[in-house]
Amino acid sequence: MSTRPIEVAPPQTVQTVTFDATMDARVAELRQRYPTSRAALLPVLWLCQERYGWISPGVIRAVAERLAESPAFVEGVVTFYTMYQTAPPARYVLQVCTTLSCAWTGARGLVAHLKERLGIGFGETTPDGTFQLVGVQCLGACGRAPVIQINDDYYEDLDVARLDAILDELSGRR
């Protein structure tokens, strides 16, 4: 299994963010690909999320400064898009498609099983910080439903037994 855990910067380390030379170079490279700094905002935020695991207020201020935008504008973009984490996520974020095609092919049963097995509901994280459960509208894999995205990886044609095997493997990683 290739799913990598999310490595998260603790909140106290990203209250005030100063990009190092490597990060500055990567942001400059991204800015060159776009006609304006504002157009580079989404990929720069994605780069920051890959680096820190989430987008803290300190990251928002640092990005705003680098792209000559207001922190309020950057925060508005971050909070508009669901792909950006605004709080430290769990090691494994389970995004369960709850749209019609997944629901009809077994997602409702998978959701019920996940809630029971993990002891959490949508928007919650297990006490040990391993799993976070999120309901999403369409992951674009309707032909292979039901589907769950775990961090960056898709798991399709799922049933309870296969889902349990995936969770068991992920739970065993430290």
Q: In the prediction, which pLDDT does 2 show?
A: 83
Q: In the prediction, which pLDDT does 104 show?
A: 92
Contact 60, 48 (CB under 8 A): no
Under the banding of pLDDT at 50, 70 and 90, the label for residue 169 is: very high
Identity of residue 33? R
Three-class DSSP category at 25: helix
Entry pTM? 0.86
Which domains does the chain possess? 11-80 (1.10.10.1590), 92-172 (3.40.30.10)
* 89 upstream amide cis, omega within 30 of 0: no
**Quick count: other Cβ atoms within 10 Å of Cβ 72?**
9
Q: In the prediction, which pLDDT does 83 show?
A: 87
Alpha carbon of residue 28 to chain centroid: 24
Q: In the prediction, which pLDDT does 161 show?
A: 96
What angle is formed at CA 21 by the lines to CA 20 and CA 25, rounded to 5 degrees? 120
Question: Cα–Cα distance between 164 and 133 in angstroms, integer?
Answer: 15
Three-class DSSP category at 151: coil
What is the number of alpha carbons within 13 Å of residue 93 lying toward its C-beta?
21
Q: pLDDT (tens digit, 9 = 90+) per residue, 81-140?
A: 888 999 999 999 999 999 998 899 999 999 999 999 999 999 999 999 999 999 999 999
Q: In the prediction, which pLDDT does 172 show?
A: 84
Q: Average the pLDDT over 29-40 and give the result.
A: 95
Q: In the prediction, which pLDDT does 27 show?
A: 95
Say yes or no to pLDDT of 174 above 60: no
Q: pLDDT (tens digit, 9 = 90+) per residue, 44-79?
A: 999 999 999 999 999 999 999 999 999 999 999 999
Torsion of the alpha carbons at 7, 10, 16 and 21, rounded to the nearest 10: -30
